[in-house]
């Protein structure tokens, strides 16, 4: 049980921005809201005139047959009988506009009692495309399957996604337990700065955006400089509410994120979700410096890769976890062996390799025993440890105490945050101040900087400096100030097992002493 609730970043008004009902779309396609079963047009995006030469006013409350031929309507009606509409996408439509015929990929889903039909101009030769992407995806999956770690999978993935999509930069962005993120793989041309190893605060992808990325596998923004196309009328006439675009592929982008992309020097961006146990684990984030559209079929291949990767990464992470647990067990056995071999069991805990530090992956440890203090690694000074032990003695209620933000409960810890922002401690005596303590430094001190973040230049210096990778990085540092990496459950368990072992050793030694005295 944690003695502290997880530290929360202060939320700004932006967090509440309802990004699922923007009232507009990105203008590279057209959106129609249709009433079933007769398929009456209830709402249309106002850019329809650009594609089809007809204004929304001419179409509203008209049957869809005003746009589509009867065979196409019949085909659509057949698709609507399917249990899961997404498997019918994309539906090919050819629509007459004056004396031209325009080809579209139609993408359908239901939302708020209406059928939403989104039309994107088709630019792909279908018959070839399928085989091309089938081969690319097949190759990628066999490469992913032989990758041996989470890092290696991520590296393979960014290379392959770059090859399939042609984006300038492809990254794997991974969330931690508090949804701060880190770039764990980055494939990019020489002339772009590397983001590898950089950390970003949870707010850069706020909760409601993460929610939409867990519902949809892919989000495409082909041109961040777009003029939004309004949906008219603004409200869905059946609900008198703005149309819910959570699952729309054309949904207009939050102005806040548009600004972020501008500041990063990014014109087109695409994200593919990586899920683990139904939670968003990370994103494959793609950037392009000029506008870039990917047809639905290619996006479908990317989505499929996201799904396969989610399985591979999840499984690999679990097996890395179980390897770690096995490693901790082996450290435990060695410590027990060393403790028995030494006259003073504490020497057995600190004088060998592995030692106390390796049992829970700490950078410092101390044992307080009968008024004496023994230390290993980076620890606060002994007088500071002594004070801390007094405080633990007063406050320890359970067998074990652990926190990744010691100064929130013990403000004096602020002065040694660089060695002990995190603490785990247990007592091994009912009556005396005998404790084992482990320390972890502030996360900022732990981080292995990938490249020098101060070298990342802001591409556009406009008023809102906060919205850039550089500033985000600063903000991330603020959010992790005075915090250490969290203690994992398996590490807490390893500590508890050591506690039993120490109690055993201490009792046995006391017994031996007693026998000697007889
Ligand atoms: C969305 N923010 C996103 C997305 C990414 C990031 C990947 C997904 C959409 C996309 O593919 O473009 C963030 N991108 C990053 C990060 C890196 C990167 C961290 O390349 C690091 C290398 N963003 C802010 C602030 C707000 C904000 C302050 O920085 C507002 C609170 C909002 N980000 C925001 C919103 C979305 C978003 C609302 C969703 C956009 C949408 O889908 O409409």
Q: Band of the pLDDT at 194, cuts 50, 70, 90? A: confident
- Evaluate whether 158 touches 170 at the Cβ level (below 8 Å): yes
CA 450 to ligand 1 centroid distance, Å: 21
Q: How large a percentage of the chain has pLDDT more than 90? A: 72
Residues 6+ apart with CB under 8 A from 428: 434, 435, 436, 499, 502, 503, 506
Tokens at residue 192, please? 């772009």
pLDDT tens per residue across span 233-284: 999 999 999 999 999 999 999 988 998 898 888 999 999 999 999 999 999 9
> Is the confidence at residue 459, as pLDDT, over 80?
no
Q: How high is the ipTM of this complex?
A: 0.97
- pLDDT band of residue 453 (cuts 50, 70, 90) is low
Please report the atom of ligand 1 found closest to the CA of residue 195. 22
Q: Is 253 in the pocket of ligand 1 (CB under 6 A)?
A: yes
Separation CA 187–CA 192 (nearest Å)? 10
The encoded tokens of residue 263 equal 């500041």
Pocket flag, ligand 1, residue 283 (CB < 6 Å):
yes
| CB distance 222 to ligand 1 below 6 Å | no
Q: Which atom of ligand 1 is nearest to the CA of 283?
A: 7
Ligand 1 centroid distance, CA of 189 (Å):
22
Closest residue to atom 12 of ligand 1, CA basis:
269
Are 330 and 353 in contact by the 8 Å Cβ rule? The answer is no
pLDDT score for 286:
98
pTM of the predicted structure, to 2 decimals: 0.86
> 206 C-alpha to center of ligand 1: Å?
7
Q: Rounded distance, CA 243 to CA 250, Å?
A: 13
Closest ligand 1 atom number to CA of residue 14: 31
User: Is pLDDT of 11 > 70?
Assistant: no
The arithmetic mean of pLDDT across residues 432-458, rounded, is 74
Contacts 24+ apart (CB under 8 A), 180-185: 180/476, 180/479, 180/480, 181/205, 181/282, 183/450, 184/150, 184/151, 184/154, 184/282, 185/151, 185/154, 185/155, 185/157, 185/158
Other Cβ atoms within 10 Å of 311 Cβ, number: 13
Cα–Cα nearest to 242, from 21, 43, 45: 21
- The protein residue with its alpha carbon nearest to ligand 1, atom 6, reads 205
**Quick one: which atom of ligand 1 is closest to the CA of 472?**
29
Q: Which atom of ligand 1 is nearest to the CA of 220?
A: 11
Q: Does the C-beta of 228 come closer than 6 Å to ligand 1?
A: no
Q: Cα(361)–Cα(363) distance, rounded to whole angstroms?
A: 7
% of the chain exceeding 70 in pLDDT: 91
The pLDDT of residue 421 is 96
Q: Is 285 in the pocket of ligand 1 (CB under 6 A)?
A: yes
Residue nearest to atom 4 of ligand 1 (CA): 205
Q: What is the pLDDT of residue 57?
A: 94
251 Cα–ligand 1 center, Å: 14
Helix, strand, or coil (residue 281): strand
Residue 36 has pLDDT above 80, yes or no: yes
Task: Single out the residue of 286, 258, 270 nearest to residue 185, CA to CA.
Answer: 286
Give the tens place of pLDDT for each residue, 241-254: 999 999 999 999 99
- Say if ligand 1 is within 6 A of residue 250 CB: no
pLDDT on residue 105: 95
**195 close to ligand 1 (CB < 6 Angstrom):** yes
Q: What is the pLDDT of residue 375?
A: 97
Q: Which atom of ligand 1 is nearest to the CA of 183?
A: 22
Closest CA to ligand 1's atom 31: 14
Which residue's CA is the nearest one to ligand 1's atom 43?
A: 253
The bridge status of strand 24-25 relative to strand 229-232 is antiparallel
- Which residue CA neighbors atom 27 of ligand 1 most closely? 204
pLDDT digits (tens, 9 = 90+) for 299-337: 999 999 999 999 999 999 999 999 999 999 999 999 999
Q: Rounded mean pLDDT of the chain?
A: 89
197 falls in which pLDDT band (50, 70, 90)?
A: confident
Which of 228, 257, 267, 286 for a ligand 1 pocket mutation test, highest count of atoms within 8 Å of Cβ? 257
pLDDT bracket for residue 468 (50, 70, 90): low
Could you give the CA distance from residue 481 to residue 10 in angstroms, rounded to a whole number?
14
What is the per-residue pLDDT for 460? Answer: 47
Choosing from 19, 185, 205, 254 the residue with most ligand 1 atoms within 8 A of its CB, the one to mutate for a pocket test is 205
The angle formed by the CA atoms of residues 292, 208 and 201, to the nearest 5 degrees, is 80
Q: Which of 104-113, 348-357, 477-486 has the lowest mean pLDDT?
A: 477-486
User: Atom 28 (ligand 1): residue with closest C-alpha?
Assistant: 204
Residue 201, pLDDT > 60, answer yes
pLDDT of res. 16 = 65
Give distance in angstroms: CA of 467 to centre of ligand 1. 10
Count CA within 13 A, CB hemisphere, residue 395: 13
């Amino acid at each position: 049980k944690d003695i502290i609730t997880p530290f929360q970043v202060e939320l700004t008004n932006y967090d509440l921005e309802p990004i699922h009902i923007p009232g507009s779309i990105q203008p590279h396609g057209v959106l129609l809201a249709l009433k079933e079963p007769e398929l009456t047009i209830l709402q249309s995006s106002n850019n329809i005139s650009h594609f089809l030469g007809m204004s929304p006013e001419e179409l509203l409350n008209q049957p869809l047959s005003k746009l589509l031929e009867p065979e196409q309507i019949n085909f659509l009606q057949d698709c609507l009988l399917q249990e899961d509409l997404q498997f019918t996408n994309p539906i090919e439509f050819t629509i007459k506009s004056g004396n031209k015929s325009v080809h579209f990929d139609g993408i359908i889903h239901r939302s708020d009692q209406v059928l939403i039909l989104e039309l994107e101009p088709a630019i792909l030769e279908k018959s070839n495309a399928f085989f091309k992407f089938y081969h690319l995806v097949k190759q990628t999956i066999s490469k992913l399957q032989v990758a041996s770690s989470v890092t290696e999978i991520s590296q393979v993935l960014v290379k392959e996604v770059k090859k399939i999509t042609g984006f300038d930069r492809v990254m794997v962005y991974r969330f931690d337990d508090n949804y701060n993120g880190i770039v764990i793989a980055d494939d990019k041309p020489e002339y772009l700065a590397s983001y590898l190893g950089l950390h970003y605060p949870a707010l850069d992808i706020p909760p409601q955006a993460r929610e939409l990325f867990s519902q949809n596998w892919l989000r495409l923004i082909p041109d961040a400089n777009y003029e939004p196309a309004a949906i008219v009328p603004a409200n869905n006439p059946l609900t008198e509410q703005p149309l819910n675009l959570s699952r729309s592929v054309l949904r207009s982008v939050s102005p806040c994120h548009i600004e972020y992309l501008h500041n990063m020097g990014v014109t087109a961006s695409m994200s593919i979700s990586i899920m683990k146990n139904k939670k968003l684990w990370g994103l494959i984030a793609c950037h392009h410096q000029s506008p870039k559209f990917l047809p639905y079929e290619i996006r479908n291949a990317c989505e499929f890769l996201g799904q396969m990767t989610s399985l591979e990464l999840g499984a690999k992470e679990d097996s890395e976890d179980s390897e770690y647990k096995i490693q901790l067990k082996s450290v435990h056995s060695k410590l027990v062996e060393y403790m028995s071999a030494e006259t003073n069991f504490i020497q057995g805990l600190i004088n060998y390799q592995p030692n106390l530090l390796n049992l829970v992956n700490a950078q410092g440890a101390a044992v307080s025993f009968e008024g004496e203090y023994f230390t290993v690694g980076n620890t606060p000074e002994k007088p500071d440890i002594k004070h801390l032990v007094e405080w633990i003695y007063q406050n320890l209620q359970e067998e074990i105490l652990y926190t990744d933000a010691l100064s929130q409960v013990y403000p004096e810890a602020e002065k040694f945050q660089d060695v002990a922002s995190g603490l785990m401690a247990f007592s091994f005596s009912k009556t005396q101040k005998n404790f084992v303590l482990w320390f972890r430094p502030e996360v900022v001190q732990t981080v292995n900087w990938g490249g020098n973040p101060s070298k990342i230049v802001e591409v556009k210096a406009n008023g809102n400096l906060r919205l850039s990778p550089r500033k985000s990085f600063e903000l991330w540092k603020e959010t992790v100030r005075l915090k250490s990496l969290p203690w994992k459950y398996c590490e807490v368990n390893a500590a508890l097992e050591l506690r039993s072992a120490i109690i055993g050793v201490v009792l046995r030694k006391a017994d031996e002493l007693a026998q000697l005295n007889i």
